[in-house]
Structure 1
């Protein structure tokens, strides 16, 4: 019952409660993001949603216009504190996770949940092996098991295993623990960026993480 009904009700309740605070954040950040390089305020990222449906995930833009798409060896997007693609305000909103806050709109639209597997890029569906597509059984989340306990410290394939673990053990109590553990990690700014020694490959397409 929680998974099918109450989780969605709780998502909407919390999203609408947070919306006035997010509007205040938008009013403050929007002109700063724009004035950095006269670019767009938002980055609309195509992502895999529930049952493999592709949707636009909203983020505050943290990278320079037409930034390179840098990937790690496992196909996941590269993320580092000294990433030259980040704008000055972009580095700040990444550290504080404010870049993810526009996803409140995705929750209201029904694309995402507050807690669930972080959504993959559309092309990642061709890299799934075995039962890894199971991570698409539920709506992706703004945060999830990986973000709460590991953030960016483990490889993509290991994150998928944790996503499936979350789906198999989904409960109200687990969501509560993930919510508060995420809040603690964000406040302490733990493991926001990937290890600097991560290997990456470049592609000339403007994609943010």
Structure 2
């Protein structure tokens, strides 16, 4: 790589040389190698998940991804290992998250092993190794214009908000970190986030939000709600 290209790699932001030409290449290589190396573990977790959850070990859900040239988010099916059962009450309604999150599911979530199938989302181009976490499709209409900028880059397996707070952060705090990442994304920043993510996973920090087994639903930013 020439000195000129090297300098451009370290320019920050969503329009940098790194984001346009190198980040996706690294995503493909890293996810493919990880899938091959971790394939025995993926098989074991698929089998154990089938037993622990009494059926399908995978959880899929529509999430919003990077915006296209027309400014519309790509909608894709995120795949994870199931960490909650499908237990329902007598009226056929799903029980609260904390009642469906069994011991096996807690182990998956605390170790982030439930996220491993997302390597296939990375390989197919909907996710990146590092980026804002992909959120529910229904949230799109609830974002402020500023918050929606989080979709100017591919969502990630981990991200700035995941590494520095995870579910202990409020929604507003998460979105601020997401926008900061969009404006400052670089190779060195991604490496920093990856190392921090490993430390957080090993320490099992920020797994749940205060008073809830999972993150509460995002109902909209104050400025959107007021309107």
Instruction: Sort the TM-score into its range (normalised by shorter chain).
Output: 0.7 to 0.9
In the aligned structure 1, how far is the partner of 2:211 from the partner of 2:147?
Answer: 27
Runs (5+) with no aligned partner, structure 2: 1-16, 68-72, 89-93, 218-227
Once the two structures are TM-superposed, the CA of residue 196 in structure 1 deviates from its matched residue by 2.0
Larger Rg: 2
**CA–CA distance in 2 between the matches of 1:5 and 1:154?**
32
Higher RCO (CA 8 Å, separation ≥ 6 residues): 1
Q: Provide the residue aligned with 1:90 in structure 2.
A: 105
Aligned counterpart in structure 2 of residue 99 of structure 1, from 114, 117, 134: 114
* 1:163 Cα offset (Å): 0.5
Structure 1 unaligned regions, length at least 5: 71-77, 202-209
State the partner residue of 2:55.
39
CA drift at 1:69: 7.8
1:133 paired with 2:154, answer no
Q: Which has the higher helix share?
A: 2
- Corresponding residue for residue 12 of structure 2: none
TM-score, normalised on structure 2?
0.78
The structure-2 alpha-carbon separation of the partners of 1:61 and 1:128, relative to structure 1 and needing over 3 Å to count, comes to same
Residue 197 (structure 2) pairs with residue 182 (structure 1):
yes
* Residue 196 (1) aligns with residue 217 (2): no
Counterpart for residue 58 of structure 1: 79
Contact 2:53 2:82 (C-alpha < 8 Å) held by counterparts: no
Q: In structure 2, what is the equivalent of residue 166 of structure 1? A: 181
Question: Aligned equivalents of 2:49 and 2:101: distance in 1?
Answer: 11
Q: TM-score, normalized by length of structure 1?
A: 0.85
The CA deviation at 1:21 is 3.1
Q: How big is the shift at 1:7?
A: 0.3
Instruction: Show the counterpart of 1:21.
Output: 37
How far is the alpha carbon of 1:13 from its aligned partner? 1.2
Offset of residue 58 of structure 1:
0.7
Runs of 4+ in 1 over 6 A off after TM superposition: none
Q: Which residue of 2 aligns with 1:12?
A: 28
